[in-house]
Structure 1
Amino acid sequence: MNSRSNLAAGLLRLAELGFNTIYPAVWQRGYTLYPSEVAKQLTGAAVLPNSPFVGRDLLAEIIELAQPLNIRVIPWFEYGLMVPPGSPLARQYPDLLLLDARGNSQRIQGASGRQDPNVWLNPCHDRVRQFMVDLIGDLVDRYPVSGIQLDDHFSFPIELGYDAPGEKLRQRFTRQLFDRHPFANWDRWRAKQLTTLLQQIVRSIRSIRSNCIVSISPNPLSFSKSRYLVDWQQWCDLGLIDELVLQVYRDRLDTFNSEIVKSEVRAIKTKIPTLIGILTGLRTKPIATDLIRSQVNSTIANRFDGYACFFYETLLHECLSPTLVVRDSQQLIDIFR
């Protein structure tokens, strides 16, 4: 996306391989990658500063170039409620951030003891809710997109929620409960706040354009619910989502297959279009073409509605760093055509 010419070449290559939808990142690191006055009001910049997107309307370019190729555009709000701690959004509005039980906005991740490099906006806070509703609604209103996508960062990390208002509610719930799971209702309350925010976003979207797809790309259900208070099964039952792109990022085919045949996955694909997100690589983690082929074939064999390849430029490049290694063109044609 760093230049229009690269964008045109990349979209053409995807079209040649048979892809019919792209999910371009539009919200990263506390900024939009397209011009947004809504974002500017809170972040101080209409587009990510010091980036290749300054002076351009990236999303307008993508839509213009994708249309003649019959590729749908579903902008991806990649960072969801997550922002870097050094971003103006986090530094200027610390009262909008979630806190852990010790009053820290950066949580400790699991048994590793590592600190999360990001902080999280509070989905219970009215100003956060209004910002997310306005940000997404404004995009849907201004651009002829096919839908929008939220992912695993649209969530409520289990360690967080101990800001002053949240702590009062937690203590009230704890005093009222007498079963063996003293925080069960507290977890449900926090999950409900996230669901309420999604309901507000969806209501706004559908008031602007009723046929706009609401797509989500979460982790598998057990992990989503236990670590991030995301119950995408319930969101489907409530009619809040139109498409599920399940992130099944696995290094082995057997663990990949075990995830896509789970009962909750089989159930949801009878209700809404359900796709499998396949990891094609990270900036510093190459994925072998043969593994991609196996996972694509397994997705097709299990009769999903499609698959989405994540991300950067790793679908077309086996390695990005330290040396760029292009994937074999014929192998890609064999997999996708």
Structure 2
Amino acid sequence: MLKAVWLTNIDSQVMNSRKNLAEGMQRLADLGFNTIYPVVWQRGYTIHPSEVAKQWTGAAILPNSPFVGRDVLTEIIELARPLKMRVIPWFEYGLMVPPNSTIARRHKELLTLDINDNPQRVQGANGELDPNVWLNPCHYRVRKFMVDLITEVVRKYPVAGIQLDDHFCFPQELGYDKFTQLSFQQHNLGEMAPIEHDSEIWIEWGAERLTELLQQIVSSVKSVRRDCIVSISPNPLRFSRSRYLADWQRWQELGLMDELVLQVYRDRLEAFELELSKPEVQTARAKIPTSIGILAGLRTRPISSQIIKEQVAAVYAQQFSGLACFFYETLFHEQLVPNPVSRSRSQLSDIFTLSQPL
């Protein structure tokens, strides 16, 4: 059974040194965790040394970070081996990058835009801008970059697989740059793209372009290592497909996923269990290993041990392939700010050991 956790470089110190990693991974192993998803692509830079990233950003690794002068992915793999833990690098930011990142400033022509030529999408009821911009999944240069970036890891490191999450997407409001609009016309006999970005025609067309990119990634990864797991960790399907054009049900049907880790970040148990019962989830789990992503908390959003326990128990009771917790620091801390409040060893054992099915 999968018991996984995401390792981040934000709001967490676990990756900042080999010593921290060794201690953290032992703590996870003691609780029965057998898989880690360490971040390797974040905010327009890699956490591990990457020649592909260097060609695009001028930096082979995240500048001015605790990772300079190290190969943190090698460290993780070495530490995981005696603990019998799988390592699946997590390309957290997918196609998303900060607007002030080197890659966004150097390659503005590769950013996709909204209908007002803005690379930042509008989100929320108050019309605030998303703080990030998006690389264009329709552009052949972006596709080559993503394929090369991911395949490089599979070629260099003995990892169990690679993971893409909800940021591997094509936000619904974007795609109104000239390149994408011309591409739409070429695919649709000269017809202009609909102005309404919630049009089903637009959603279907954009979703197919993102699927094409995933097909290229999977083909390249599998050509290097046939046994390399392609793990996808999306949002629930309705939201994922309509808002981000990430049709993971289609991906499953096409055989593009080896593992589904569905993010079900809900506070109420009823809402959590409702997502687990959705037909598309039940269909996926009949075809491929399907696990459930559980939110253990965020820096400013504490989640009680009781809520986590109830959700873990629900995953066990419904006999999913496993679970994954976001993220390491909140797994061990019920609260991070203003002062950290640790979860006790007995609380964690009660959640992850005593409630595990035989």
Q: Normalising by structure 1, what TM-score?
A: 0.96
Q: Please, which of 238, 248, 261 is the counterpart of residue 254 of structure 2?
A: 238
Shift of 1:321: 1.8
The Cα offsets for residues 178-233 of structure 1, whole Å up to 9 and x where unpaired, read as 9x999432322211111111000000000000000000000000000110001101
Q: Please, which of 300, 307, 319 is the counterpart of residue 284 of structure 1?
A: 300
Does residue 29 of the first structure (1) align with residue 53 of the second (2)? no
Q: Distance in 2 between matches of 1:177 and 1:6?
A: 51
The Cα offsets for residues 217-261 of structure 1, whole Å up to 9 and x where unpaired, read as 000000001100011011011010000000000111111111111
2:232 alignment partner, SS class: strand
* Structure 1 residue identity aligned to 2:323: Y
Partner of 1:273: 289
Contact 1:283–1:312 (CA under 8 A) maintained in structure 2: no
Name the CA shift for 1:177/1:134 in 2 (closer, same or farther; >3 Å).
closer
Partner of 1:73: 87
2:33 alignment partner, SS class: coil
* Structure 2 residue identity aligned to 1:294: E
Contact 1:293–1:335 (CA under 8 A) maintained in structure 2: yes
Q: Distance in 2 between matches of 1:177 and 1:202?
A: 29
Partner of 1:251: 267
Does residue 329 of the first structure (1) align with residue 342 of the second (2)? no
Partner of 1:300: 316
Q: Please, which of 66, 69, 84 is the counterpart of residue 98 of structure 2?
A: 84
Q: Distance in 2 between matches of 1:134 and 1:269?
A: 30
Shift of 1:283: 1.3
Partner of 2:142: 128
Shift of 1:177: 9.8
* Structure 1 residue identity aligned to 2:127: G
Partner of 1:116: 130
Correspondences of 1:170-181 after superposition (within 5 Å)? 170=184, 173=188, 175=191
Contact 1:140–1:208 (CA under 8 A) maintained in structure 2: yes
Shift of 1:284: 1.4
Aligned length: 336
* Structure 1 residue identity aligned to 2:109: D
Q: Distance in 2 between matches of 1:50 and 1:181?
A: 39
Q: Distance in 2 between matches of 1:177 and 1:39?
A: 33
Correspondences of 1:114-193 after superposition (within 5 Å)? 114-170=128-184, 173=188, 175=191, 183-193=199-209
Partner of 2:5: none
Q: Please, which of 46, 49, 54 is the counterpart of residue 60 of structure 2?
A: 46
Q: Distance in 2 between matches of 1:154 and 1:182?
A: 19
Contact 1:282–1:312 (CA under 8 A) maintained in structure 2: no
Shift of 1:43: 1.0
Partner of 1:104: 118
Contact 2:172–2:198 (CA under 8 A) maintained in structure 1: no
- Larger RCO (alpha carbons 8 Å, 6+ apart): 2
Partner of 1:94: 108
Q: Identity percentage over the alignment?
A: 65
Name the CA shift for 1:177/1:315 in 2 (closer, same or farther; >3 Å).
closer
Shift of 1:167: 2.4
Q: Distance in 2 between matches of 1:182 and 1:195?
A: 18
Contact 2:184–2:192 (CA under 8 A) maintained in structure 1: no
Shift of 1:175: 4.4
Partner of 1:19: 33
- For the aligned residue pairs, the C-alpha RMSD in angstroms reads 1.8
Contact 2:114–2:173 (CA under 8 A) maintained in structure 1: yes
Shift of 1:85: 0.3
Q: Distance in 2 between matches of 1:177 and 1:132?
A: 26
2:20 alignment partner, SS class: helix
- Structure 2 unaligned runs (5+)? 1-14, 354-358
Contact 2:161–2:229 (CA under 8 A) maintained in structure 1: yes
Q: For structure 1, which segment, 73-82 or 313-322, has the greater mean C-alpha deviation from structure 2 after superposition?
A: 313-322
Q: Distance in 2 between matches of 1:177 and 1:101?
A: 11
Q: Distance in 1 between matches of 2:68 and 2:282?
A: 43
